[in-house]
Structure 1
Amino acid sequence: MIHSLKSDLASFKTLAFRPGLNVLLAEKSSGANDRQSRNGAGKTSFVELIHFLFGGNARTDSIFRSDALKDASFEMQVDLGGDVISAARSGSKPSRIKIQGATEHWPIPPLLDDDTGDLILSNDNWRTNLGALIFGLSVDPEMRKRFVPTFRSLFSYFVRRQNSGGFVQPTQQSGKQQNWDQQVAISYLLGLDAGIAQEFQEVRAQEKAMAELRRAAKQGDLGRFYGNAADFRTRLAVAQTKARQLRAQVEAFNVVPQYVDMEREATEITRAISALNNDNLIDRELIDQLAMSLDDERPPATDDVERLYAEIGVVLPDSIGRRFEEVARFHEAVVGNRRAHLSSEIEAAEGRIVARDRERADLDRRRGQLMEILRSGGALEHYNRLQEEVGRAEANVETLRQQLEIAERIESTKVQLEIERARLRQSLQNDLHERNGVVEEAIVLFEELSNALYERAGSLTIAATPNGPTFEVTIDSQRSKGINSMQIFCFDMMLATLATRRGLGPGFLIHDSHLFDGVDERQVAKALQLGADQAEAEGFQYIVTMNSDALPDDGFREGFDVRKFVNPTVLTDELESGGLFGVRFV
C-alpha cells in the first residue's frame, strides 16, 4: 500500500493514506466563480504522480519537467518486498531514483552516491526491481524475451490514466496498448500460462515478417509468379540450361589476339589469288593467240612463180632464178625469226602461268592456315561479349534461385505457422482445462462483483481462439448510464483481488474520478461501498479521486459512512494554491 506522498516543494499538499478505501476529494472553494474548474485541482495529476514515482517515462512534455515542478523532488512511502521503503524522484533528474529502507534482498541493490550519501538506482533498474518484487517478473536478461509481461504494462491495470485512454474498455489499460500485450498481461495477472499468449505473438510477428517479405519481393522481379514456387522451379530450370550452354561456349572459345589482322590478311590473300587467276587467264588467251599465229607463219611459194612464167613461155635468165632462191631464203629466214619470237612469247607466258600457280599455291596454303585459326577461335572483343552474356545468364539464375527460396520459405512458413497456431490453440485449451480452478475463480468473482452493482450479474468469458486467449466482459444493463465504466470497475476489482490472493500486485488499486463520469449516483455509491468491502476483505488499498459534489449522499447500506474514508487533505479549485502542487503549471 501507499503510506504517504510528500515533496520538498513548499506548496505541495502532503497526502497520507490508510488501508482500505481512501477518497481524495476536490472541492469548489468559497467564492469560486463558474469559470473555475476542479479539473485543475490535481486529481489527475495525483495519478500522474503515482506513475512518475513508479518508474513512468518523464518525457520533455511531462508536467514534472515543467518550469514550475522540474526542480522539485517528490517522495513516496510504500510497501515493497515486505518492507516500507521511501523512493524519491525529480523532473530535473528523472533517471535517478533515491531510495531509503531495507534493500538488501532486492535483485538489483541501489548504489551509494559518494557525493550525497544517498542510495541511488537508475530508473531502468528501479522498474526491474519493481517488476520482480511486485509481480514476480524475472530479472535475468536471458529470460526476458520478446513479448513478455513488463512491470509498466501490468502496473497500469492498477492505476489507469485518463490521458492515456485507460478508461475505454476493461481489457485495455491504454489506447495504444496492443492486443498481444493485453493477452500476455491479463493471462499473467489471472494466473494463466502467459507464455502461450507470448508464443501467439511470436507467430503473428513471423506472419508480419512474411508479409513484409512478400511486399519486398513484389517490388523485385517476381511479377505474377510471386509466391508460386512451382513456376519459379520451371523458370530456374530453363535459365540454368541456357547459362550452362553459354558457359560451355566460353570454355571452348579460343581467343585469337590478332584476329582482326588475320582476318584482314586472309581477305588480302583472297584478292591476290583472284588477281593471279585473272592474270593466268589473260596469259592463256595470249598463248592461244600466239599458237594460232605460229601456225600461220610460212615462206612465200617461189615454185608457183616459176611455173607461171613457164606456162606463158617466158624463159627467165639464170640470174633471175638465183634471185628467186635468194628471196626464198630471205623469207624463210624472216618466218623462222617470227616463229622463234612467237615460240619465245609462248614460253614466257607459260612460265608466268607456272610462277603464278606456284605463288597461288603458297597463298592458298597461307589462307588455309589463317582460316583454320579463325574457324577455331575468335576475337577478344567477341569473347568479352560472350562472357558478359554468361554473367547476365548466371546472375538471372541466382536471382531466380533466391526468389525460389523466398517463395518456398513463404509457402513452407505459411504452413508451419498454420500448424503452430493450431498447436498453440490446443495448448491454450489444455491450459484453460488444467487451470480450470483459476478460470472459475475469475469468472465467479466477476459475477459476484457485478451482481453487487446490478440486479442482473455480468459475465467474464475466457476463450481459446486461433488468435490467442480472449477476455470478454459484459454487464447486461442497457438502461444504466456509464455501463462501460462499471465493467472496468468490476474488471479492475477482480484483477486486484486475484493478484492479492496470489501475493502479486502493488497492494493498491487507484481509480481516477473520470471512471465515474456519467455513472448513475446509485451505482457510484454501490461501487464505493463494494470497493471498501473488497479492499478490506482481501487486504489491499483502494484509492479514489472524486469531485465533492459527485460523492453520493445516499445509496449506501445502513451503517456505511463514506465520509469516514475521505482523505483529510482536500484539494480545491483555488487558482494559485488549491491544487495538489499548490502552483499552476502549463
Structure 2
Amino acid sequence: MFDLVLTYHEFLGNVLFNLDNNETIVNENIKFRTLFPYFARKAADGGFLTASRYYKNQKVFLTQIILTYLIGLDTKLSIKQKKLEEKKKEVSDLKKVLKTDAYKEIVNNGINLDREITILKDKADNLKKELENFQVHPKYKEIEVEASGFAKQISELSNQNFIDRQVIADLKEASMNEENISDINIRELYKEVKIKLPDALIKTFKDSKIFHERLVSNRKNYLSSELNKYEKLVKDRGVLIKELSMEQSKKMEILNTHGALDQYSLLQSEWNELESKIRTYKNQQMLISSIREEEANLKIEEQKLIIEITKSLEEHTKTKQKAILLVEEASKALYYSSAQLNIGQTKNGRYDIEMISRNQGSTGINSMLIYCFDMMLIQMSAYLGRRMNILIHDSALYDPVDERQIAEALRFGKHKSLEKGFQYIITLNSDDLPESIAKDVEKNILPKVLTDSDESGCLMGVYF
C-alpha cells in the first residue's frame, strides 16, 4: 500500500490551484507560496508597485511561469524559457573564464591552438621516446670527468708533437746544409784568413782541414742525435695518444649510450612542461568549441521555442481572449479607467504578460491596473476549474485612488463576487469609505473593532 503524505502547503496547492504532485517539472517551479500572494498582496513586499509582480525584486522568468499558470497558458513552455535563460547564463559565465590570463596570453600572442597543439604534441612524443631510451649510469659524472681529462691530455700531446715536428724539420734541413760544405770553401776561407791575419795563422792548411772535418762530423753527429731524440719523442707521444684515444673512445661510448640522473630529470621536467602546456591549450580549445557549440544549440533551441510559444498562444486563443475581456470588463466599470491586458511575445520570443493603460497621467492608475488584473485572476481561477476563491486587497491599494473610483471598484467587486461565487475581502478604514457606496456595502462590513488590548482586537494575527 502506498501512502502519500503532503505538507500543508502542498495540500493547499492541490486543493486551491490544482497543482499535481506528479507534474515534476511544474512543481519544481510553482508552489502554493508563489501563487497565493497574487490573491493577497502585501504592500511591504512591493505587491502594489506593478500588476504582474507581487514582490519588488521578482524575476521576469519566474513571473511569466506563474502568470501563464494562473491564466491557463502553457506553463511548461515558460519553464523551458527559464531553463534556456539559465543555459545562456552558464555560457556567459564560461565566456568569463576565457578572460583569464592564460587565455589572454593565447589571444595576445596570436596562437593558433590547433597548430600549436600539433607542434607541441610532436615535440612531446619525441621527448618521451628519448626518455624511454634514456639509460642512467651511476658513475656518469666520473666517466665524464675522465673523458674530459683524456681529451685534454691528447690535446696537449698533439700540441707538443706539432712543435717537435717543426724542430725535426729544422734539424733535417740543417743536416742537408752540412753535407753541402766543400773543400774549396775551406781553401778559400784559409787563404782569406792568412792574408788578413798572418800572425794568427799558426796551423797549416792540412791541419785546418782536419779540424774542419772534425767540426763538421761532430755537427752531423749532434744533428743526427737530436733528430733521433725528437723523432722518438713524437713517436712515443703518438703511441700514448693512440692509447688515450682508445680509452676516451670507451668513455665516450658509455656517455653516448647513458646519461646522468640530473640530465634525465631535466628531460623529464621539459616533457612535463610540454604536457602541461598541451593540456592547457586543449582545455582552452575544448572550452571555446563547447561555447560555440552551445551558443549554436541555444540559438536553435530559442528559435524552436519562439515557434512553440507562437503556436501555443494560437491554441490558447479562447483562454487568452477570456482573460483580456475580464480585464476590459473591470476597466469599463471603473471611473476613467482604460486598463488593458497584453498577452503576447517579446522581441526575443518569450511570453509577455503585462497590464497597460492609455491614461498614464490619471491619479491612482497603477492601483486600478492592479485591481483589474487581480479581478481577472480570481475569475480565471473559476474559469479554469480551480477552487481558489478568495481575493484580498489592503487599503494601500486604494490610498492613491480618488473617491469615485474607490466607490466603483467596491461596487464592481461586490457584484462580481456574488455573481462568480468568490470572496472579496477589503481592509479599509471606515472614514475612507465613500458615502456613495456606504449603503450598498453596509451589510458586507465586518463589525470589527481593532485594539491592541488583547488577541480579540487583532486582525488575522496582526496588531494595529
Task: Name the TM-score, length of structure 2 as normaliser.
Answer: 0.79
Matched, 1:521 2:403: yes
Partners of 1:282 and 1:225 lie apart in 2 by 61
Q: Please point out which of 419, 436, 440 is paired with 1:561.
A: 440
8 Å CA contact 2:150–2:244 kept in 1: the answer is: yes
Aligned to 2:324: 443
User: Any gaps of 5 or more consecutive residues in structure 2?
Assistant: 180-209
Deviation readout 1:126-174 (Å, 9 max, x if unpaired): 112211221121324854564x222111100010001100001111111
Aligned to 2:5: 108
Aligned to 1:410: 291
Matched, 1:272 2:153: yes
Q: Please point out which of 111, 116, 119 is paired with 1:241.
A: 119
Alignment of 1:92-241 (within 5 A): 107-108=4-5, 125-140=7-22, 142-143=24-25, 146=28, 148-223=29-104, 234-241=112-119
8 Å CA contact 1:522–1:555 kept in 2: the answer is: no
Aligned to 1:385: 266
Deviation readout 1:228-266 (Å, 9 max, x if unpaired): 9xx77x223223313422431452364553444333323
Question: How many residues matched?
Answer: 426
AA aligned to 2:434 is: P
Q: Offset at 1:429? A: 1.3
Q: Please point out which of 530, 537, 543 is paired with 2:412.
A: 530
Partners of 1:287 and 1:524 lie apart in 2 by 134
SS at match of 1:163: helix
Deviation readout 1:542-567 (Å, 9 max, x if unpaired): 110001110111157xxx62111100
More helix by share: 2
| Fraction of identical pairs, as percent | 32
8 Å CA contact 1:576–1:584 kept in 2: the answer is: no
Deviation readout 1:35-69 (Å, 9 max, x if unpaired): xxxxxxxxxxxxxxxxxxxxxxxxxxxxxxxxxxx
Aligned to 1:545: 427
Distance 1:582 1:278, change over 3 A: closer
Aligned to 2:205: none
Matched, 1:580 2:455: no
Partners of 1:274 and 1:374 lie apart in 2 by 20
Partners of 1:583 and 1:149 lie apart in 2 by 27
Partners of 1:214 and 1:430 lie apart in 2 by 33
8 Å CA contact 2:168–2:231 kept in 1: the answer is: no
Distance 1:275 1:429, change over 3 A: closer
AA aligned to 2:375 is: M
Partners of 2:462 and 2:313 lie apart in 1 by 51
Aligned to 1:468: 350
SS at match of 1:546: coil
AA aligned to 1:357 is: G
Partners of 2:309 and 2:263 lie apart in 1 by 67
8 Å CA contact 1:200–1:467 kept in 2: the answer is: no
Distance 1:225 1:133, change over 3 A: farther
Distance 1:145 1:412, change over 3 A: farther
Alignment of 1:473-512 (within 5 A): 473-478=355-360, 480-512=362-394
SS at match of 2:392: strand
8 Å CA contact 2:52–2:353 kept in 1: the answer is: yes
Distance 1:550 1:271, change over 3 A: same
SS at match of 2:400: coil
Q: Offset at 1:183? A: 0.5
Aligned to 2:186: none
Distance 1:259 1:539, change over 3 A: same
8 Å CA contact 1:259–1:374 kept in 2: the answer is: yes
RMSD: 3.8
Q: Offset at 1:348? A: 6.1
8 Å CA contact 2:136–2:264 kept in 1: the answer is: no
Matched, 1:252 2:133: no
8 Å CA contact 1:291–1:346 kept in 2: the answer is: no
AA aligned to 1:404 is: Q
Partners of 2:230 and 2:400 lie apart in 1 by 131
SS at match of 1:460: strand
Deviation readout 1:492-533 (Å, 9 max, x if unpaired): 011001102323253211000101002111111111111111
Alignment of 1:320-339 (within 5 A): none
Distance 1:406 1:374, change over 3 A: same
Q: Greater relative contact order: 1 or 2 (C-alpha under 8 angstroms, separation 6 or more)?
A: 1
SS at match of 2:358: coil
Deviates more, 1:534-543 or 1:400-409: 400-409
8 Å CA contact 2:41–2:393 kept in 1: the answer is: yes
8 Å CA contact 1:273–1:363 kept in 2: the answer is: yes
SS at match of 1:407: helix
SS at match of 2:39: coil
Partners of 1:203 and 1:527 lie apart in 2 by 40
User: Any gaps of 5 or more consecutive residues in structure 1?
Assistant: 1-104, 110-124, 298-327
Deviates more, 1:536-545 or 1:388-397: 388-397
Distance 1:287 1:561, change over 3 A: closer
Distance 1:225 1:160, change over 3 A: farther
Partners of 1:416 and 1:456 lie apart in 2 by 45
SS at match of 1:470: strand
Deviates more, 1:373-382 or 1:385-394: 373-382
8 Å CA contact 1:246–1:386 kept in 2: the answer is: no
Aligned to 1:49: none
Q: Offset at 1:436? A: 1.0
SS at match of 1:571: coil
Partners of 2:74 and 2:358 lie apart in 1 by 30
Deviates more, 1:190-199 or 1:395-404: 395-404
Partners of 1:282 and 1:490 lie apart in 2 by 118
